[in-house]
């Protein structure tokens, strides 16, 4: 009797305060259950009515050392759950090669969430959007199968998805709620109704694949835009249909659309947007605190569960930011600040406390110290010196182990190249007109055109500029450096091929042949440090290197790299790729530099810029304490 009484008391405690579930104190049992009560339009957690207020947090956008800090701030805001995508392309960077360590240790992230009293909503895709390159799908699929039909019942696509989930889901199974873990919900696909394929055989297949791992130990769900047109193709038989909508939406109308496909069960907004994303060349997108708080209150007043997308965004380090295509191609910023309640550096904003106040009207707020903005490093100027031009053969050889020669140019995907740049080279044939018009026909995304290593112009997919008049002579070396600015992550254009896309690149109407191609992924810029003292003529695109030591006696702090005065390029600190900078276009001017990327006093830190167009007049940058994400837009 005593054992039964203790067990009953424990179950009551867990149902009343699910945020306190800890991995080390909870074991799997038949009484542990998360399910939908259709009769009463609610979730049940261990038999008790329950609703979640969650926030999205992408572990792959945040240094691992900061996961616990961010999760603790989620809990302090009153959230009882955290939602995360799983980015397939990073976990399987090459076909059959898997990474689950460091910032990609998804199970460690789930464990930390549980330890911080948060349930978990897992969104494994395989497509995730998330404003990431190709929506998180791995580009190597296109290399192996150029005609692959993504997100459909194409046999090649499904075989890769099956192999991926057969690797991922066994790792996730122990963390499902029914098995003692914190994962209460698992999403099937993502906003499929916005894709256009409407392949119900595929979504049913995907449902069955996930169900074979999840069973009754968590709830399967879908999410789509809050319109019947989206739900028509996004809803899956046997999977709970939810919607997403942001500030300014008609909440009642949005949930009415959900009710057409989920007539009974809890109301759920799987992505409530208190901020929004920004593209290069457009003003910083913001959402007012007042509007975000008002509409969140409206959602919660309808007894809905909600996931805030995003409470904290993080950063698109490296080359992993994606792009949109509405009327034209639009690459996205390196920063994923998103005007979120916790800013890019994880500091609380006015919006954070406003949303916390709203949440506190519906859920008990934990007795926790409220977060405060952390001190940032104002480390001053760093002088940079030009080290080497990228087009110098010695430099190219240091960054690429192999050149590929073909009659016609190959795309990034045909070259098995994922991110970064490809240099295309050929010679000008006889009798070129004066001037001769270079016509790339079709390319992605930005092309720097050189004649004998001298920059002659820039072609742009964004601005739909594909031709350039040139003054050339027979035998001149024509070089075209093509940058992948991010594959499209939303809609029907996911198969976004990069590089020179047409075999018929012409100069003065003559098709150019005999191309040599050099892939430049820049996984590391260590070779630059090894070129100290290298004597060559330095003109952009070029590497600029500086060294700095942090102040003595101070703790190492987060800081921001101010790229004012520079034009466009990529920045690296201690071989960490901070991402693309483009202050000439705007609006982002600074790049976030986590303290975890820096070396404490008295060790020296190395800063490398790959400047593509023109350096700052004083060849220096600054490490500042305040970010600038709303700079002037050209």
Residue 600: DSSP 8-state: P
Pairing of strands 81-85, 53-56: parallel
The sheet carrying 454-460 orders its strands as 403-406, 515-520, 421-427, 477-483, 446-451, 454-460
With beta carbons less than 8 A apart as the criterion, state whether 438 and 467 touch.
yes
CA distance 181 to 168: 16
Closest CA to 86 of 56, 126, 145: 126
Answer yes or no: are the C-beta atoms of 266 and 52 closer than 8 Å.
no
Q: Cα-Cα-Cα-Cα dihedral of 551, 554, 559, 563, to 10°?
A: -10
Could you check whether the bond before residue 602 is cis, i.e. omega within 30 degrees of 0? yes
Annotated catalytic residue within 271, 344, 483, 611: 271
Q: Using an 8 Å Cβ cutoff, are 449 and 436 in contact? A: no
Residue with structure tokens 């295509």? 325
> How far is the C-alpha of 371 from the C-alpha of 348, rounded, in Å?
7
d(CA 420, CA 543): 15
Residue 187's SS3 state is strand
Q: How far apart are CA 632 and CA 11, in angstroms?
A: 56
Q: E-assigned strands of 428-582?
A: 436-439, 443-444, 446-451, 454-460, 467-470, 477-483, 499-500, 506-507, 510-511, 515-520, 542-549, 559-562, 569-573, 576-581
Contact 324, 607 (CB under 8 A): no
Q: What is the dihedral of CA 246, 340, 219, 258, to 10 degrees?
A: 0
Tell me the C-alpha distance between 352 and 343, whole Å.
9
How far is 217 from 446, CA to CA, in rounded Å? Answer: 47
To 10 degrees, what angle do helices 106-115 and 155-172 make?
Answer: 40
Q: Is 116 a known active-site residue?
A: no
Q: Are 609 and 559 in contact (CB under 8 A)?
A: no
Point out the catalytic residue in the list 103, 191, 344, 413.
191
Roughly what angle, to the nearest 10 degrees, separates helices 106-115 and 67-76?
40
Annotation marks residue 271 as catalytic: yes
In order of 125, 173, 192, 220, the CA distances from 213 in angstroms are 15, 7, 21, 11
Whether the upstream peptide bond of residue 445 has omega within 30° of 0, thus cis, is yes
Q: How far apart are CA 99 and CA 97, in angstroms?
A: 7
Which residues are annotated as catalytic?
Answer: 191, 271
């Amino acid at each position: 009797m005593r054992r039964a009484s203790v067990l009953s008391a424990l179950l009551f405690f867990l149902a009343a305060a699910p945020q306190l579930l800890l991995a080390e104190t909870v074991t799997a049992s038949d009484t542990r259950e998360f399910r939908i009560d259709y009769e009463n339009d609610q979730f049940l957690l261990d038999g008790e009515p329950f609703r979640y207020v969650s926030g999205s947090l992408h572990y792959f956008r945040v240094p691992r050392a900061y996961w616990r800090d961010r999760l603790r701030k989620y809990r302090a805001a009153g959230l009882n759950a955290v939602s995360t995508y799983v980015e397939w392309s990073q976990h399987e960077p090459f076909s059959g090669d898997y990474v689950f360590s460091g910032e990609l240790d998804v199970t460690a992230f789930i464990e930390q969430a549980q330890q911080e009293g948060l349930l978990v909503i897992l969104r494994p895709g395989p497509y995730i959007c998330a404003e990431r390159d190709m929506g998180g799908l791995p580009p190597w699929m296109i290399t192996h199968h150029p005609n692959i039909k993504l997100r459909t019942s194409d046999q090649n696509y499904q075989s890769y998805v099956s192999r991926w989930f057969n690797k991922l889901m066994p790792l996730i199974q122990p963390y499902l709620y029914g098995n003692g873990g914190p994962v209460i919900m698992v999403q099937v696909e993502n906003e499929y109704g916005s894709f256009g394929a409407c392949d119900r055989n595929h979504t049913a297949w995907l449902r069955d694949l996930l169900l074979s791992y999840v069973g009754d130990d968590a709830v399967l769900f879908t999410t789509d835009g809050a319109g019947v047109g989206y739900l028509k193709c996004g809803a899956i038989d046997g999977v709970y249909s939810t919607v997403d909508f942001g500030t300014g939406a008609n909440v009642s109308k949005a949930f009415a659309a959900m009710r057409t496909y989920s007539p009974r069960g809890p109301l759920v907004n799987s992505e409530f947007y208190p901020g929004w994303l920004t593209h290069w060349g457009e003003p910083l997108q913001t959402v007012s605190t007042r509007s975000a708080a008002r509409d969140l209150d409206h959602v919660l007043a309808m007894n809905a569960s909600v996931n805030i997308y995003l409470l904290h965004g993080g950063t698109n380090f490296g080359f992993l930011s994606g792009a949109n295509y509405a009327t034209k191609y639009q690459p996205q910023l390196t920063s994923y600040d998103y005007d979120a309640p916790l800013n890019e550096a994880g500091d609380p904003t006015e919006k954070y406390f406003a949303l916390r106040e709203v949440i506190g009207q519906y859920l008990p707020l934990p007795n926790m110290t409220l977060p405060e903005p952390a001190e940032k490093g104002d480390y001053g100027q760093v002088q940079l010196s030009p080290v080497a031009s990228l087009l110098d053969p010695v430099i190219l050889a240091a960054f690429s182990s192999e050149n590929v020669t073909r009659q016609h140019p190959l795309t990034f995907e045909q070259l098995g190249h994922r991110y970064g740049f490809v240099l295309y080279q050929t010679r000008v044939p006889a009798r070129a007109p004066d001037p001769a018009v270079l016509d790339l026909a079709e390319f992605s995304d930005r092309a720097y055109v050189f004649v004998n290593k001298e920059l002659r112009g820039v072609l742009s997919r964004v601005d739909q500029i594909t031709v350039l008049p040139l003054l050339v002579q027979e035998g001149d070396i024509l070089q075209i450096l093509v940058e992948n600015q991010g594959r499209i992550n939303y809609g029907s254009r996911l198969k976004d091929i990069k590089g020179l896309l047409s075999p018929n690149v012409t100069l003065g109407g003559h098709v150019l042949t005999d191309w040599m191609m050099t892939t430049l992924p820049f996984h590391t810029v260590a070779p630059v440090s090894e070129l100290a003292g290298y004597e060559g003529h330095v003109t952009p695109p070029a590497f600029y290197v500086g060294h700095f030591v942090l102040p003595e006696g101070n703790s190492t702090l987060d800081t921001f790299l101010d790229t004012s005065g520079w034009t466009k390029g990529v920045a690296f600190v201690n071989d960490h790729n901070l991402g693309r900078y483009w202050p000439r276009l705007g609006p982002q001017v600074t790049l976030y530099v986590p303290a975890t990327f820096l070396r404490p006093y008295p060790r020296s830190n190395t800063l490398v810029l790959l400047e593509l167009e023109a350096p700052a007049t004083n060849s220096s940058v600054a490490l500042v304490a305040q970010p600038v994400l709303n700079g002037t837009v050209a």
